[in-house]
Structure 1
Amino acid sequence: MYEDRYLEEYELGEKRSTIGRTITETDIVVHAGHTGDFFPHHMDEEFSKGEAFGQRIAHGTMTFAIGIGLTATAINSKAFTYGYERLRFPTPVFIGDTIHTEIEITRMSDDPKRPKFGQVVESCWVKNQKDETVLFCEHILLVQKQGNE
């Protein structure tokens, strides 16, 4: 889906939510293979039984990739990702958890280096089926201003 929007078309406080996605053991194994992160907290069920959470936990990087990936529902040719800030994992994700992402536009400003663009900050809360926040971050978008084609 295409949804071209200029900076002036965004609104502070605007909110949206994504669909859910259940995390599987296969997700964890594939992510470990992609990243090389085979730490026992993710891969070894017996080891994890004796650890703080009593079971394997999903990689934070996988939670980020899936949670933020869920937000990619529209292509906006007037915007692109500048980066992410304040990334935190306050609650672990376990096999069988279903996560979704809630997004709110919390800041907007001119971009200090690019006069034809502004910055839109989307605060992102990835939540599990218990409505617990498992990831928080700020997604910074560079968005073209109107009249700068």
Structure 2
Amino acid sequence: MTYFEEYVLGSTRRSHGRTVTETDIVWHAGQTGDFFPHHMDAEFAKSLPGGQRMAHGTLILSMAVGMLAGEINEEAMSYGYDRVRFIRPAHIGDTITSRSKIVSLRDHTKRPADFGIAEEQVEVVNQRDEVVIAFVHIYLVNRRPGSFS
């Protein structure tokens, strides 16, 4: 378990790679109801700048978060996401990797004796090391009991 006091500003992580499949896109469309032709219509997508169907931005966001969730930290939970940017599309066959860095550690404003806030800058890159999505993942993290002074 990792308490707030154990987080290190500037520490980094990198996930394994994961290849985006047509099945991923179809399942995500079914779960979200987003059947826009950009994602589902191969003929329409030929007219797009990339010339092919693109994965939903929210699919790649979800995949990225999951790829970094390699272990359960019972002392932390996701508190939200800020500054989400879909920078370039990911396509069927692209392999994405998530990389992250702790960029901010601060006290919780209302309950500083109980919680800290950790912000992790995440970039998702494709196999060409081009950034596809960037966002800040915010964590609410328990403080070690008796550590706050």
Instruction: Give the TM-score range, shorter chain.
Output: over 0.9
Match of 1:42 in 2: 39
- For residues 74-118 of structure 1, the C-alpha deviation after alignment (integer angstroms, 9 at most, x for no partner) is 111111111000000111000000001001000000010222100
TM-score (norm 2): 0.95
2:64 corresponds, among 57, 64, 67, to 67
Counterparts of 1:26 and 1:76 in 2: how far apart (Å)?
30
Match of 1:18 in 2: 15
Paired AA for residue 133 in structure 2: L
Per-residue deviation at 1:52?
A: 2.2
1:141 corresponds, among 139, 142, 146, to 139
Paired AA for residue 48 in structure 1: A
Counterparts of 2:57 and 2:146 in 1: how far apart (Å)?
38
Provide the identity percentage: 51
The Cα RMSD (Å) is: 1.2
Counterparts of 2:45 and 2:88 in 1: how far apart (Å)?
16
Counterparts of 1:125 and 1:67 in 2: how far apart (Å)?
9
Counterparts of 2:146 and 2:46 in 1: how far apart (Å)?
57
Range moving further from structure 2, 48-57 or 34-43: 48-57
TM-score (norm 1): 0.95
Q: Which runs of 5+ in 1 are unaligned?
A: none
1:59–1:148 Cα change, 3 Å: farther
Counterparts of 1:91 and 1:148 in 2: how far apart (Å)?
46
> Paired residues, what number?
146
Match of 2:119 in 1: 121
Runs of 4+ in 1 over 4 A off after TM superposition: none
Counterparts of 2:48 and 2:11 in 1: how far apart (Å)?
40
